[in-house]
Structure 1
Amino acid sequence: MRADGSPAGGAAAGSGPASARARSLPPAPPRPGARGPFAESWWGNAWVRALEDSSLDAGRLSRGRTYARGGHVGTITVTPGRISAPVSGSRPRPYRTVIRMRVLTEREREAFLDAVCAQPAHIAALLDKDMPHALVDAAAAAGVRLLPGPGEPDPACSCPDSGRPCKHAAALCYQTARFLDADPFVLLLLRGQDEEGLIDELARRNAKLSAQGAGTDTHAGTGSGTGTGTGTGEGIPYSPPGIPARDALATSVRPPLPPPLEPPAAPGEPPLLPELPGAPDPAALTFLATGAARRAHAALTTGPAALERLPPPHDAVRLAATHPQLTGRGTFSDLFARLARGSGHTAQGLARAAAAWRQGDEGLSVLETVWDPPAGGFDRARGALAAAGLPRMTIRHNRLTDATGTLQLRYGRDGRWYPYRSERTGDGQRQEWWPEGPADSDPVAALNALTEG
């Protein structure tokens, strides 16, 4: 393991961040009371044996199996040298659980590719989602370990249990065995080799071997140049799956699109994000992802206006007003304070703006703008308040303020009344007006809600 927490071993060409791709496995449905092995393939069972051989506590393994069958493991993400997933335990928020593996060095990668290309059957097996014993043995003979070795898999978990593995990491390992069963390229991805880059490189090397065989063949119609040779070092042609583009575009007739799916009842929640060296704060990313999911859900249910672009200061107000974690006006979380600083607000100012945003479409404008309304509805408001027996209000621009200086109605350009309440600042030196409750077209109703609140 390097000092930055990344897996030990060189990142081979074509296996670094620019080309390696993450793979995800959605959560498996709960199977309480199920029995039997977690893996069906021999390499999946080898993975399970490596886990169980490295554990010193059979009890934790047993609880891990129960967690895995009980649906406690969330979406599994596999990247080079790393498996991660949220695993639910005894607390409401899942634990961050990670399994690490060593990636292949450049030399090991070259040796592995040579071992695969040495037998055309190995290429065919991989394309058929199979991992033959002979391939693993050939790689081992070349000094390349594909299956877990000493000290692997290497678990880590955010839970307080110091066991290696804890029951959450054991549950992740057992569920990973099912992932490996379905696709051996997941094991290769763990070793730093993404499927697309690996297949491209095997195709290139195989074509080169075929061309070399054709150049040395002196008997027409025979030898490896036909692409059918079976001897060591002879190549076979490789065609990626699919159909030629000309066949797909040969007709202008297209099947009708299926009807759109119904919007979900509620916006989705982002997955539990890992903490990685040098990566953004997971809490901040979760916050932004939650906001994006809420906007997308609003766009599906209310229309595209929910996706309107806003200037950054106002977009920060929208985030603060719509996100459940960013409420309050006295004490603020570090996340709230960072959002305020990044958008040019103070924490108090952002909280006030968020409260105004929640009042309605004109709420933020009413907070920020003073204006002189024309004669009409605004002038009639004082008479309506007096007729209802409410306290007399003084007028200043578009604002009506009671005699105590603690209650205020602000008239918006949309003809609605926005209630405000005065509160002293923390140092007690001055008062600030805070938006208080929703706007109303009736000034009497707005003031009554304010005095009763």
Structure 2
Amino acid sequence: MITARDDRRRTFETVPAGVEAATWWGRAWVAALEERAQDAARLERGRAYATEGHVDAVTITPGRIVAYVRGSRARPYRTELSLTAFPDAEWAALLEAVAADPTALAALLEREVPQSLAETVLPGAGELVPRCSCPDTARPPCKHAAALCYRAARLLDADPFVLLLLRGRGERELLEELARRNAAHAAREQPDAAPGFPGVPARAALARTSLPPLPAPPAAPAAVGLPPAYPGDPAAPDPLALDQLATDAAARALALLTTGEDPIAGLTLWQDAVRLASAHPTAGLTGAARTLYRDLARATGRTTTDLARAAAAWRQGGLPALTVLEEPWDPPAGPFDRARPALLAAGQGSFRPEHNRLTARTRQLRLSREGLWYAYESRPDTADWWPTATPCQDPVTALLR
């Protein structure tokens, strides 16, 4: 279930191509910053930065749009544009106006900014407030803030709900509230109209019948039971393979019963093989487990060592942990700027950054895209990294678990 809090944060890893705004509301957004600017050269440099791809992932929350913008120095700058979010009373009036106006509602559903809302939701001159961690603070906006403004305009071109999120409400909650208000308007306009579909009076539908109440469903078992024993008939399938299939099917059925989610939905062949292998320890394997590892590795074109390492990562944190093991990426500077001094202050030594990894001799921390730190260890003078412990948002805690 997506909550209002989840609906009020969106991150765009990529931005539609181009720099110049294509819609009238996108151009109005740019004009709100350009009309405040005191230096045309900064704007032109910001436009060039946007064209050259200097703006990294853009995150939007009520009242703020934030991104890291790469300038002439190696470390990117944290750049922000602020816009006042509406209070609840102003939102109520705005939603009521849209629900009562079929033209405005249709435009919004077609992902266009309704003309009737232009003066309300679009920023006026000087209403966009730029902030940047760069040293150029004399005459805002700086070139980094200008670059972010131009890139944000392309997001608004494609989806005006980005602008409404800046004003304080997410797309899902807006559409749900508009649906409720639109239904209320329709009911007031046609209070006595008969429905165009067959039905029964509510009193009859809710009347008691002679049917007894349904029994309460049995409680879900705490764990998967043991599969039956299979005969070792040479003409029958391998009993060990049948045992594995039955045990895994029972585990999937229990997961579906208790969570409503299929644990293998969307997994690749390799990811599903890792999931199966993770149910068995990687040390002191039984003969049956060794056979399973060998068969899974052969079916996926990997080695048993690759599979054992991946299974250890899966036990560390499921599919997200396997992604951390296999996919390096380049995070923004902020998490590392906080983690390295914290590790040094905790007496853990100096860690060397590379991609999303911090390494110090035989210890390593890896940062996931979700902001969790995963601990790894290797033998001295090798790069044979194996996952350990469980992930944590605090790098020191993740390392010492």
TM-score range, shorter chain: 0.5 to 0.7
Q: Is the Cα contact below 8 Å between 2:98 and 2:104 reproduced in 1?
A: yes
Q: TM-score by structure 2 length?
A: 0.52
Q: What letter matches 1:210 in structure 2?
A: A
Q: Where does 1:54-453 land on structure 2 (aligned, <5 Å)?
A: 54-136=36-118, 140=119, 145-162=120-137, 163-215=139-191, 302-309=309-316, 334-338=341-345, 340=346, 346-347=347-348, 355=361, 437=381
Give the CA deviation at 1:21. Answer: 2.2
CA distance in structure 1 between the aligned counterparts of 2:381 and 2:267, rounded to whole angstroms? 44
Q: What letter matches 2:342 in structure 1?
A: L
Q: Is the Cα contact below 8 Å between 1:24 and 1:75 reproduced in 2?
A: yes
CA distance in structure 1 between the aligned counterparts of 2:177 and 2:70, rounded to whole angstroms? 40
Secondary structure at 2:32 match in 1: helix
Give the CA deviation at 1:347. Answer: 4.1
Q: Is the Cα contact below 8 Å between 1:64 and 1:168 reproduced in 2?
A: yes
Q: Is the Cα contact below 8 Å between 2:37 and 2:140 reproduced in 1?
A: yes
2:32 alignment partner in structure 1: 50
Q: Is the Cα contact below 8 Å between 2:63 and 2:168 reproduced in 1?
A: yes
Q: Is the Cα contact below 8 Å between 2:35 and 2:125 reproduced in 1?
A: no
Secondary structure at 1:78 match in 2: strand
Greater C-alpha radius of gyration:
1
1:34 alignment partner in structure 2: none
Q: Is the Cα contact below 8 Å between 1:99 and 1:155 reproduced in 2?
A: yes
Aligned with 2:10 (options 15, 19, 23): 23
Give the CA deviation at 1:307. Answer: 4.7
Q: Is the Cα contact below 8 Å between 1:146 and 1:187 reproduced in 2?
A: yes
Q: Where in structure 2 are there 5+ consecutive unaligned residues?
A: 197-264, 272-304, 318-338, 352-359, 365-376, 384-401
Q: Is the Cα contact below 8 Å between 2:100 and 2:185 reproduced in 1?
A: no
Q: Is the Cα contact below 8 Å between 2:31 and 2:125 reproduced in 1?
A: no
Structure-2 change in CA distance of 1:155 and 1:187 (3 Å):
same
1:416-435 deviation line (CA, Å, top 9, x unaligned): xx9xxxxxxxxxxxxxxxxx
Q: What letter matches 1:334 in structure 2?
A: P
Secondary structure at 1:75 match in 2: strand
Give the CA deviation at 1:209. Answer: 1.3
1:111-159 deviation line (CA, Å, top 9, x unaligned): 10121012112112111101131343xxx4xxxx211124321100111
Q: Is the Cα contact below 8 Å between 2:29 and 2:122 reproduced in 1?
A: yes
Figure out how many residues of one structure are paired with residues of the other and give that number: 242
Give the CA deviation at 1:215. Answer: 1.2
Q: What letter matches 1:60 in structure 2?
A: R
Give the CA deviation at 1:308. Answer: 4.8
Structure-2 change in CA distance of 1:334 and 1:206 (3 Å):
same
| Sequence identity (%) | 46
Q: Where in structure 1 are there 5+ consecutive unaligned residues?
A: 1-15, 32-36, 223-255, 263-297, 311-331, 341-345, 359-363, 366-417, 419-435, 440-453
Secondary structure at 1:54 match in 2: coil
Give the CA deviation at 1:60. Answer: 0.1
Q: Is the Cα contact below 8 Å between 2:104 and 2:115 reproduced in 1?
A: no
**Cα RMSD for the two superposed structures:** 4.1
Structure-2 change in CA distance of 1:123 and 1:300 (3 Å):
farther
Structure-2 change in CA distance of 1:299 and 1:87 (3 Å):
farther
1:164-192 deviation line (CA, Å, top 9, x unaligned): 11000000000000000001111100000
Q: TM-score by structure 1 length?
A: 0.46
CA distance in structure 1 between the aligned counterparts of 2:153 and 2:44, rounded to whole angstroms? 16
Structure-2 change in CA distance of 1:174 and 1:109 (3 Å):
same
CA distance in structure 2 between the aligned counterparts of 1:113 and 1:86, rounded to whole angstroms? 33
Secondary structure at 1:193 match in 2: coil
Instruction: Using CA pairs under 8 Å that are at least 6 residues apart, name the structure with larger relative contact order, 1 or 2.
Output: 2
CA distance in structure 1 between the aligned counterparts of 2:164 and 2:15, rounded to whole angstroms? 22
Structure-2 change in CA distance of 1:221 and 1:182 (3 Å):
same
Q: Is the Cα contact below 8 Å between 1:60 and 1:165 reproduced in 2?
A: yes
Secondary structure at 1:38 match in 2: coil
1:376-416 deviation line (CA, Å, top 9, x unaligned): xxxxxxxxxxxxxxxxxxxxxxxxxxxxxxxxxxxxxxxxx
Q: Is the Cα contact below 8 Å between 2:12 and 2:57 reproduced in 1?
A: yes
